[in-house]
Amino acid sequence: MTKTMPAGFAAAVAVAVTVAACGGGGGSAAPTSPTATTPPTTPTTPPTDSATITIGTDGRATPSTVTITRGGRVTMVNNHNRPHDMASDPHPEHTACPELNQWGFLQPGQSRTSSNLNTARTCGFHDHGEPNNANLKGSVIIQ
């Protein structure tokens, strides 16, 4: 004679085995060592670089080339004894980098800063009143 388990008892045993196998018994489990995780990286904003170009007492714009990061600004300082009307290339349209046109007409001792240069490119500049004067030409490289 074979004995069979009642169906309810068999189901209860199956549930108990499953719970025990999954660790859901609520008893104390053996400690496990923590898994090393790398913290999530937060994107950083690239630095907004700045540069200064100075028209010296000798009438030269120095440095003639500056490099800034996107979002940077460039200040033009006029230390010459006469005014200069600084603008972006090409002459006479000044359309290559409108942000540089904010320098505009600078009296001796005056300075102005461009707006943010957000597009990677190379912008030439010159003195609108002396477009062929190599001492007052240069470029701003935006990376």
Ordered structural domains, the chain, with CATH: 52-142 (2.60.40.420)
| The predicted structure's pLDDT at residue 30 | 53
User: Whole-angstrom Cα distance, residue 30 to residue 56?
Assistant: 76
pTM score of the predicted model: 0.67
Judged on CB neighbours under 10 Å (0-12, 13-18, 19+), 55 is: buried
The per-residue pLDDT for 86 is 99
pLDDT at 100: 98
Please give the Cα distance from 40 to 86 (Å, whole number): 46
The pLDDT value given to residue 44? 41
What span, in angstroms and rounded, lies between the C-alpha atoms of 40 and 21?
A: 33
What is the reported pLDDT for 9? 47
CB 111 within 8 A of CB 78: yes
Q: How far apart are CA 72 and CA 89, in angstroms?
A: 19
Task: Divide the 143 residues of the chain into consecutive groups of 10 and give the mean pLDDT of each group.
Answer: 51 47 50 54 55 98 97 98 98 97 98 97 98 98 96
pLDDT at residue 13 in the model: 47
